[in-house]
A = this chain, B = another copy of it.
Amino acid sequence: MRRGEIIAIGSELLLGGRLDTNSIFLSDGLAEAGVEVRFKTVVGDVEEDIVAVLRTAARRAEVVLLTGGLGPTSDDCTREAVACATGRPLRRRAGAVAGMAKQLAAWGRTPSAAQQRQGLIPAGAEVLANQVGSAPGFALRWQRALIAALPGVPAEAERMFALSLAPMLRRAMASETAERIERLTLHTLGLPESELEQAISGLVPRIGWIRLGLLASPLGVTVSLTATVSDNRLGQKRFGQFGEVLRNIRKKLGRHIYAEGPDTMEQVVGRELTSRGLVLALAESCTGGLIGHRLTQVAGSSAYLDRGVVCYSNRAKTELLDVPERLLIRHGAVSAPVAAAMAKGIRLRSQASVGLSVTGIAGPGGGAAKKPVGLVYVGLDTYQKNGTGKASTTQAFHFHGSRETIKLRASQAALNLLREWLIATGPLDRP
């Protein structure tokens, strides 16, 4: 695989809470074209800094994409930096000026004095037309590297990459054996990162072209398998081997895998509810609406989510969910009996097929020795017994981390309880 580097240019990417999102689709596009991004660099609108990172990049990568700094304002200096780093002086290029004038004419405008600067292109570079905005890009070969400069506006960069640069890369690669990156991800819940690695480490052969990655977050641990395969017989053999490794990992992790690839827990749960024709109602305490928010991020969720209640006060738990006061007094709001009563209450009140509840202590205050911050109960109630003969079930957890983290973990645990119940139960009779 060729080595790639993406350089994002813009002072706002260094300070100001903004991230270089262009590199997401550029990495994917480069991977498809057989270029593996090994480095990403962010640098401000400072010519000498851009020159330095470009020279470093051209030494360690064969394809270098720059984004940003091609605009008309005085802080845009990518053109000058490329000219300086490569020793190719800037020239006013008729094709670049004409393309810019044409694009602006479509909006009823003519190039301003400032925009004329956008027609300056390093000598010997190929001009890349901008179909969305006014600033043209360019590409040139320097030393062993292909260097291309794209605008920073995501829509402009994405279009210019797809229309001009991807074909150029494919042509450049045509003489070589085509290689591509295969990448698969499995999202798991319930096994700590180190236990998970121990469980699967024997399943991944210690060969350079398959890479195993583990990534922990409040939503669980994501396992990624990345492989470089070429388009020849060896590649086909490798692709088969890659598939086998994946199947073995899937088998080993079993029910801990809640989703694959771009899928999320809320999408998986939504599909399982839909396929069974079930309707869900929620009773949230410490998650404060997060479960409802997550479920309703999925388009069409109104088909299976009837309602939710957020019961922060005891009174709300009694009034909206018929949680008996004696339970609240005897066991406290954060307890398994109250989680069960909340799930049952919301199911009966709403006449939904399934009630799902959470009660816990999100912190940072409100904890005690017997009931510490992070203690969370999730509950599920349904009109029909599942495989284990239960129509109602609760689980207890003790989560660590910040308030935000505990809320996320609690929402994930509740949705996972529902997912496991759906899978264990299979098709249901309609109520």
| A24/B14 contact (C-beta < 8 A), A193-B72, A320-B307 known | no
Query: Cβ of A405: which chain B residues have Cβ within 8 Å of it?
Result: 155
A87 an interface residue at 8 Å Cβ cutoff?
no
Bound complex: CA A185 to CA B18 (Å): 13
A160 an interface residue at 8 Å Cβ cutoff?
no
193-224 of chain A: CB within 8 A of chain B: 193-195, 197-198, 201, 211-217, 222, 224
A53 an interface residue at 8 Å Cβ cutoff?
yes
Bound complex: CA A112 to CA B196 (Å): 12
Shortest beta-carbon distance, A95 to chain B, in Å? 21
A179 an interface residue at 8 Å Cβ cutoff?
no
Taking a contact as CB atoms under 8 Å apart, the answer to whether A214 and B73 are in contact is: yes
Bound complex: CA A319 to CA B320 (Å): 11
Taking a contact as CB atoms under 8 Å apart, the answer to whether A181 and B13 are in contact is: no
Query: Cβ of A310: which chain B residues have Cβ within 8 Å of it?
Result: 282, 289, 292, 296, 305, 307-310
A337 an interface residue at 8 Å Cβ cutoff?
no
B11, B27, B72: which contacts A15 (Cβ < 8 A)? B27
Taking a contact as CB atoms under 8 Å apart, the answer to whether B312 and A305 are in contact is: yes
| B-contact bits for A1-25, CB 8 A (1 contact / 0 none) | 0000000001111111111110110
Taking a contact as CB atoms under 8 Å apart, the answer to whether B365 and A300 are in contact is: yes
B40, B132, B316, B400: which contacts A307 (Cβ < 8 A)? B316
Shortest beta-carbon distance, A197 to chain B, in Å? 5
Bound complex: CA A422 to CA B63 (Å): 52
A368 an interface residue at 8 Å Cβ cutoff?
no
Bound complex: CA A289 to CA B285 (Å): 12
Taking a contact as CB atoms under 8 Å apart, the answer to whether B213 and A75 are in contact is: yes
Query: Cβ of A213: which chain B residues have Cβ within 8 Å of it?
Result: 11-12, 16, 45, 75
A295 an interface residue at 8 Å Cβ cutoff?
yes
Taking a contact as CB atoms under 8 Å apart, the answer to whether A212 and B364 are in contact is: no
A256 an interface residue at 8 Å Cβ cutoff?
no
The DSSP consensus for interface residues of chain A is mixed
Which residue of chain B has the shortest Cβ distance to A295 in the bound complex?
B288
Taking a contact as CB atoms under 8 Å apart, the answer to whether B282 and A194 are in contact is: no
A46 an interface residue at 8 Å Cβ cutoff?
yes
| A15/B39 contact (C-beta < 8 A), A290-B289, A293-B287 known | no
| B-contact bits for A106-141, CB 8 A (1 contact / 0 none) | 010000101100000000000000001000000000
Which residue of chain B has the shortest Cβ distance to A107 in the bound complex?
B400
Which residue of chain B has the shortest Cβ distance to A224 in the bound complex?
B16
Taking a contact as CB atoms under 8 Å apart, the answer to whether A293 and B296 are in contact is: no
Given A39-B42, A72-B197, A155-B402, 18 additional A-B pairs, CB 8 A: A11-B224, A16-B185, A16-B213, A38-B44, A40-B41, A40-B42, A71-B216, A73-B193, A75-B214, A287-B293, A289-B293, A297-B403, A299-B363, A302-B313, A306-B312, A307-B320, A308-B309, A309-B320
User: Which 4 pairs, one residue from A and one from B, show the smallest C-beta to C-beta distance?
Assistant: A289-B292, A288-B296, A289-B289, A308-B310
Q: 29 A-B pairs, CB-CB below 8 angstroms?
A: A11-B213, A12-B222, A15-B31, A15-B37, A38-B43, A38-B44, A41-B42, A45-B213, A75-B212, A114-B194, A155-B401, A155-B402, A282-B289, A282-B310, A284-B289, A288-B305, A289-B290, A289-B291, A289-B296, A289-B308, A300-B365, A302-B312, A302-B366, A306-B312, A306-B313, A306-B315, A307-B311, A309-B320, A319-B350
